Structure 1
């Protein structure tokens, strides 16, 4: 199809986007204004799903229900949406390894993974969420820690920590005391100090901050493990997905989005301190915590591609989520991948 024919196809009045509070090139491209710039030049408005006052629209952050929308962040919600039949396309992946660990307090006497046998490990549970991605994330981290320690889930006591507070609050939620969101692990910290659990899983810059705050001992660290089956979790890798209507009706616009996101790779390499600052702002954490969680070379790992090894890692994680009942059905990850936008983006850059 010619460029002219593409331009004569459907033109949306607006597109929707969302990203998780995490190190992604989409989040940096949005902060730099490149995402809005990409669509505004076509007369298309850009709206943030997370910032909407409408709860039904905010829900698309998880279930990808909106046409003309795109998302980059944790991989559990888009895997869940695709498993449930949502027509989306996986157009890119970013792998930024991060701190993942099971932690405890020194007074528990737990010094190594083997010491977790017979102990109580906290597991968050949010029954009100359509997809309990925090529970899935923690369970994968716990299973990985147990695996490298020669243990299985049957060797420990998993303790549910139930919360009915929504993960995705509105921007005017007074319970946040003027902040954008509630940081994780509040229930786990309380349960640990009350002696209800002996250990729990943390990840990312928030996890490093929490470990520091409570004077925790790291029992098992898995985020930088050489085996991708061990380190893969909700945040590694992070997919860029679009709905099928967007991908099929205007692949040219999706390719322009890819170009904008891929610009971040070179920008971050040239501006390493700024890259960390942008990520810290996105997460709501300190720059020091971001460096501790993601390593000194974070600015070198903000690429967007379709690395076959990372696609394979997504398939492995799909199997984990299916085994533990977090997603409803199997699906073919290779069929989910749409390589057209990356190819069109390369052609665009070549000309």
Structure 2
């Protein structure tokens, strides 16, 4: 991956950061990340985030570990001052489109399994066979952000595009789930897990004969496809065109609120350097990286390998490659066109400190 860090490092050389032991009473750096492969997640698991900022006199707290729902909600809305987030890009784009004062520091692009699957004797063997068929589409009307629906719709669009088809060529079957996203909460029917596995509404639609095919992604998608003995229709996660591959998990955005950028750019520089270091560590520790990512995702190492491939450890760097920024901009406009975000905006202008 071509790194942005030449530009960042030139910028950081011009900074006059506060001494490491300068106290910063009253300030807390809030962090949050999705349960996905990310260098920020690695830095947290390795203990580097606490260590690096304690030396700067900055208290570090997890958004999702807060007992207050108003704080945990910042995982999606990014409303907390002095906060950083890395994870799926849809919440980051949604927050920006709703006026959140954030800046994009970099992208981590880790390709993953993305596919349309079917079951039974549907006679759907390839993407072109989807014409006129019913595709399950998850809908989460009770959620602040319907990123499940947006992710699936983009996955369906990508699959159809590979065969010269469009969304108008298929019937989308709404699979509505009125549960809300669970943020660091517990429910008896989760049986001790942190969150419910996705796809159960779409699976029910397939089982009832209400839909012919569905979209799945990532290690969880691999597990589901394996569980039901699915037939693969088309896989787009390794497609050579990033416009086809771009989705909620590709790329994963590292964003920070603008208050931190304005008040303490040296802290932002420290953060970028730390995430950069975590990506370099991953490149040198493939087995440990796989283990840490599987732990982060709550999946088996086997499923992560099947989804992300044996080179996972080489893909956790932070970058701002123009091709990837352009793909993210395309996806942002896709979300706007399909009413998942309220406003169109310039992803390029959102970027902070490009090389």
Give the TM-score, by structure 1 length.
0.93
How much has 1:184 moved relative to structure 2? Answer: 1.0
Residue equivalent to 1:221: 235
Q: Which is worse superposed, 176-185 or 20-29?
A: 176-185
Q: Give unpaired runs (5+ residues) of structure 1.
A: 344-351
Report 1:279-318 matches (<5 A): 279-318=293-332
Aligned with 1:59 (options 56, 73, 84): 73
Residue equivalent to 2:157: 143
CA distance in 2, matches of 1:274, 1:221: 28
Residue equivalent to 1:38: 52
CA-to-partner distance for each residue in 1:32-85, whole Å, 9 max, x for gaps?
A: 011111212223222111222222211111110111110000001111111121
CA distance in 1, matches of 2:183, 2:190: 9
CA distance in 1, matches of 2:302, 2:199: 19
CA distance in 2, matches of 1:101, 1:55: 34
Residue equivalent to 2:189: 175
Q: Which is worse superposed, 42-51 or 93-102?
A: 42-51
Residue equivalent to 1:108: 122
**Is the 2:20–2:56 Cα contact (8 Å) retained in structure 1?**
no
Aligned with 1:73 (options 64, 87, 93): 87
Give the TM-score, by structure 2 length.
0.92
CA distance in 2, matches of 1:170, 1:5: 35
Aligned with 1:2 (options 5, 16, 19): 16
How much has 1:11 moved relative to structure 2? Answer: 5.6
Residue equivalent to 1:50: 64
Residue equivalent to 1:237: 251
Residue equivalent to 1:184: 198
Residue equivalent to 2:106: 92
CA-to-partner distance for each residue in 1:292-328, whole Å, 9 max, x for gaps?
A: 1011100010101222221111111111111111111
Asked if 1:23 corresponds to 2:37, the answer is: yes
How much has 1:283 moved relative to structure 2? Answer: 0.7
CA distance in 2, matches of 1:163, 1:142: 19
Asked if 1:204 corresponds to 2:218, the answer is: yes
Residue equivalent to 1:277: 291
CA-to-partner distance for each residue in 1:278-297, whole Å, 9 max, x for gaps?
A: 11111111101101101110
Report 1:150-169 matches (<5 A): 150-169=164-183
**Is the 1:121–1:156 Cα contact (8 Å) retained in structure 2?**
yes
**Is the 2:24–2:58 Cα contact (8 Å) retained in structure 1?**
no
CA distance in 1, matches of 2:80, 2:94: 15
Local SS of the residue matching 2:115 = strand
CA distance in 1, matches of 2:282, 2:23: 35
Q: Which is worse superposed, 231-240 or 52-61?
A: 52-61
Residue equivalent to 1:348: none
Local SS of the residue matching 1:122 = strand
Q: Give unpaired runs (5+ residues) of structure 2.
A: 1-14
Rate the CA distance shift 1:28–1:8 in 2: closer, same or farther, 3 A: closer
Rate the CA distance shift 1:242–1:9 in 2: closer, same or farther, 3 A: farther
**Is the 2:16–2:266 Cα contact (8 Å) retained in structure 1?**
no
CA distance in 1, matches of 2:183, 2:281: 32
Local SS of the residue matching 2:211 = coil
Local SS of the residue matching 1:108 = coil
How much has 1:169 moved relative to structure 2? Answer: 3.6
Residue equivalent to 2:4: none
Aligned with 1:266 (options 280, 298, 316): 280
How much has 1:179 moved relative to structure 2? Answer: 1.1
Residue equivalent to 1:121: 135
Q: When the two structures are aligned, how many residues end up with a matched partner?
A: 341
Rate the CA distance shift 1:96–1:12 in 2: closer, same or farther, 3 A: farther
Residue equivalent to 1:132: 146
**Is the 1:55–1:170 Cα contact (8 Å) retained in structure 2?**
no
